[in-house]
Structure 1
């Protein structure tokens, strides 16, 4: 619009002098499988079971931070291995299917009398607040490179990116993340360097292995 106004009305286009914003590494960063394992291990060793278990499950489930942190025990059905989220960010009902590891972590969280939340806070009847300090300690113990780039939302990004990089189809990851649109899921489809090299090499392998005189290929 600025360019058109400049052409038609001889109005200076101030947008030409606006620099592009720097890339937000906290939004593009994801933890690969090795880093994810290190974070989960450090989180489960953290002295506060509520905070540590929350962070570990965040890197396993792919839930949004608030969707997991505000869960109550009434939302957990261990017999059927599901966690119910009555209302997500996009306003829909969502079910998270629990793995055996997730169930083991949930079973090791101490329940607090008169507190309905899975991750109880210090205030009576309230959930934990966002455990920023615990997360910083856990990242340090996990030897995470550039830890400032790893935020709570990085966990959701990491779950999606690692699944896609290791062969999970986009539509399945879309359902896991409860995205309405596949375009939202595609933002997380960042392949690891190793996977990119493997993909790049695959066609070359097919070509070099191809023998036009061999009718069996």
Structure 2
């Protein structure tokens, strides 16, 4: 006896989610709407179709792909789109309209729009990332910008031959990665992992393509910590670079924060007396609000910075900016200038992130407790993780301030030719 989709929406969704693919293509009719049926491919991909008569001849019209949540787009129910998401109720409404149009002599297939191409899918993916997000709300703006950069630079140019997202398999992923440098491979793989785990793509393709592809090798864990001589060299070079990159580098060393947390710093995130930064959860890697005390030396640097204005004379919200509209992002050119000002012999291979590791190491050498050190850099996997992190609600603000002032004093002594020794805060 043939089984059909139940008429009640929740029961219908449960029924569809329980379906299992077989070796052959399956068609499951709908009990509530005549002519409507669900197609399940051997891959597990699900799509809606309706059978009707157009100009007296039997015709099949593909309405869209199945999704238990459906879509909130206004065009659902008005346009035939093989890639649009349709839940049970939406598919029934659209099927009824298609059949009615066919009876009036209108061919609904002429209203189809092609949205199977990668450009459309990546556009929808990025729109979701910036608006709703995937699990914990919208992704950070800097992360979304990086997604778009990777898609535009590494993925799209190497997938121009792909016209339909449903045809992609793991070999396409591996061929793409083979064309990229190791760093670009890891970045592209990370973006594609999020893309193929995204529910609409998973529904359309029928499987998570990325799970079958060989992942790029992980980079060797970096242990680079700048020596005292190298700290002095970098500090001197940063001073020669000037605004905005020079003081940005110095604040990275004085605070131990991540590059983008300082590069995207806003004046509104600074306290009125400039003695602390408060980063909202959307600006941090672990999604937790973060308080960063500023030492007198860090305050002096910030007070010396210009307030950039736009063409209309309006002050920018960003501390480090050249356009007044967007935060500083010229890290490649900035690093080249910094290395040039470091002189000869050049510092062995180092990165801006090594300044964070260097700051943490200096504080440990000064006797700063591990939990305070982790609190400074907003790291939750060590002393501040697990049971300790759940039950210990102490904010360590005073200890963090003391630690960062000790760090600033040590940096002042290391770079004694450039900064004045600071008295310890009372």
TM-score, structure 2 normalization: 0.35
Deviation string 1:91-135 (CA, Å, 9 cap, x unpaired) is 0000110011101111111111231100012x3411110422222
- How many matched pairs? 162
Partner Cα distance (1:105, 1:80) in 2: 10
How far does residue 168 in structure 1 lie from its aligned partner after superposition? 2.0
Is 1:104 aligned with 2:305?
Answer: no
Q: Which residue of 2 aligns with 1:59?
A: 253
Residues 146 and 80 of structure 1, relative CA distance in 2, 3 Å threshold: closer
Q: Which residue of 2 aligns with 1:156?
A: 356
More helix by share: 1
> Secondary structure of the equivalent of 1:95?
strand
Deviation string 1:142-191 (CA, Å, 9 cap, x unpaired) is 35866462112111111111211232221111111111121799xxxxxx
Q: Which has the higher contact order (CA 8 A, sep 6+)?
A: 1
Q: How does 1:134-149 map to 2 (within 5 A)?
A: 134-143=334-343, 147=347, 149=349
Give ranges in structure 2 of 5+ residues lacking alignment: 1-216, 386-426
8 A contact 1:50–1:119 mirrored in 2: yes
Q: Which residue of 2 aligns with 1:38?
A: 233
8 A contact 1:81–1:97 mirrored in 2: yes
> Secondary structure of the equivalent of 1:77?
coil
> Secondary structure of the equivalent of 2:286?
coil
> Secondary structure of the equivalent of 2:292?
strand
TM-score, structure 1 normalization: 0.66
Q: How does 1:84-99 map to 2 (within 5 A)?
A: 84-87=278-281, 88-99=284-295
How far does residue 59 in structure 1 lie from its aligned partner after superposition? 1.3
Partner Cα distance (1:102, 1:156) in 2: 15
Partner Cα distance (1:37, 1:94) in 2: 28
Q: How does 1:109-124 map to 2 (within 5 A)?
A: 109-113=305-309, 114=314, 115-121=316-322, 123-124=323-324
8 A contact 2:226–2:354 mirrored in 1: yes
Give ranges in structure 1 of 5+ residues lacking alignment: 1-20, 186-217
Q: Which residue of 1 aligns with 2:326?
A: 126
Is 1:28 aligned with 2:218?
Answer: no
8 A contact 2:370–2:383 mirrored in 1: no
Residues 94 and 144 of structure 1, relative CA distance in 2, 3 Å threshold: farther
More strand by share: 2
Q: Which residue of 2 aligns with 1:171?
A: 371
Q: Which residue of 1 aligns with 2:190?
A: none
Deviation string 1:1-25 (CA, Å, 9 cap, x unpaired) is xxxxxxxxxxxxxxxxxxxx79737
8 A contact 1:55–1:135 mirrored in 2: no
Runs of 4+ in 1 over 4 A off after TM superposition: 143-146
Q: Which residue of 2 aligns with 1:181?
A: 381
Partner Cα distance (2:238, 2:223) in 1: 22
Partner Cα distance (2:280, 2:344) in 1: 34
Partner Cα distance (2:302, 2:363) in 1: 22
Larger radius of gyration: 2
8 A contact 2:279–2:290 mirrored in 1: yes
8 A contact 1:78–1:103 mirrored in 2: no
Residues 159 and 76 of structure 1, relative CA distance in 2, 3 Å threshold: same
8 A contact 2:339–2:346 mirrored in 1: no
